[in-house]
A and B are shown apart, each in its own frame.
Chain A
Amino acid sequence: MDAVLRGAVIYLFLTVIFRVAGKRALSQITTFDLVLLLIISETTQQALLGEDFSVTAALLLILTLVGLDIAFALWKGRSARLDRLIDSVPVLLVENGQPLKDRMDRAQVDEDDVLSSARKSQGLERLDQIKYAILERDGSISVIPQDPGG
């Protein structure tokens, strides 16, 4: 019982804390983000296991985390509200080459981030070549280029 409860508490806590941290935080954009994630996982491991080093406890913890994940995925499929609550919504950042400054500030994204994504995914050089740049729910930025003709 304790293993399952510990697993559930940690799962819910991490869900909330990463949600509050925002889409862009810890999305592994810098080496430091990666290191921070590693430290968090190390710390979490201690809390999950406690003094119980049995194989059964490890299996139960895995079952708890995966089981909750499946349950939430199913629930999110049924409820658009919960889906938004947990996974957030995509945000339009650039429209027809015009950065939407206010939103970008709030989302902690600057023009360099958008241009970096544009270079990597589309090979674009300038902001005016971008039709739409969208901050996706997972924190990545997707870029749609301007139509070549128009």
Chain B
Amino acid sequence: MTKARIEQEFDFQRREWRVERIGWGVIWLLLALALAGLFGGGPLSRTSVSSGDLTLDFPRFERETRPTELEVSLPLSPDGQGQVWIANDTLERLQVQEITPPPMRIQNGPKRTEYLFRGEGDELRVTFDVEFQRAGVLRGHLGQVGGLGLNFSALVYP
């Protein structure tokens, strides 16, 4: 290769360097967003919705198969019982690993699964340890048996 030819090719290298620099910026931007929780597991990733006295704290950005939690709080009835239902099509997309406190009874219906809890005081806090099973947008429904329900949606990364 002659020097003139090499110098011609140098233009390509110059462009390559420019693209490299932009790439570095993109990497650091993505890392900053990841630290903020845009890809799950950070301050940005959790949020809560409520309907009446029923509140759900859940991850709106999450990664497939990564252990995470749904935290439900609801008022207890005077006899110390609380009942939560989760729609079955929601349960198809998230695998429940553990429930704290453990439910007294689980009842499977055609459309939803009901969990009966017993507690003390006037509020019940339940943590569902779950793993999202499929990537994509999850539209979930859960609620209080005989009370209000709520919708939540989460973006699940593959």
Contacts and interface: CB of A to CB of B under 8 A. Distances in A.
B27 A70 contact: yes
A34 B27 CA distance: 31
Task: Say whether chain A's binding surface is mostly helix, strand, loop, or mixed.
Answer: helix
Interface centre among A54, A57, A67, A70 (most CB of B within 10 A): A54
Residues of B in contact with A, size category = 20 to 34
B87 interface: no
Nearest to A54: B63
A63 B63 CA distance: 16
Contact of B34 (A4, A51, A53, A55): A4
Interface residues of A, number: 19
Interface string B5-36: 00000000000000000001001101100111
Contacts of B64: 54-56
Nearest to A74: B24
Given A1-B35, A1-B37, A71-B28, A53 B65 contact: yes
Interface string A56-70: 110010011011001
Interface stretch (B38-46, B48-56, B101-109, B143-151): B38-46
Given A4-B31, A51-B66, A67-B27, A56 B37 contact: no
B30 A63 contact: yes
A60 B27 CA distance: 10
A51 B65 CA distance: 8
B33 to A, nearest CB: 10
A55 B134 CA distance: 12
Given A52-B63, A54-B65, A1 B41 contact: yes
A67 B31 contact: yes
Interface in B57-107: 63-67
Contacts of B42: 1-2
Nearest to A2: B41
A52 B66 contact: yes
B152 interface: no
Contacts of A53: 65
A60 B39 contact: yes
B95 to A, nearest CB: 13
12 contacts: A1-B34, A1-B35, A2-B41, A3-B39, A53-B65, A54-B65, A54-B158, A56-B39, A60-B34, A63-B27, A63-B30, A70-B24
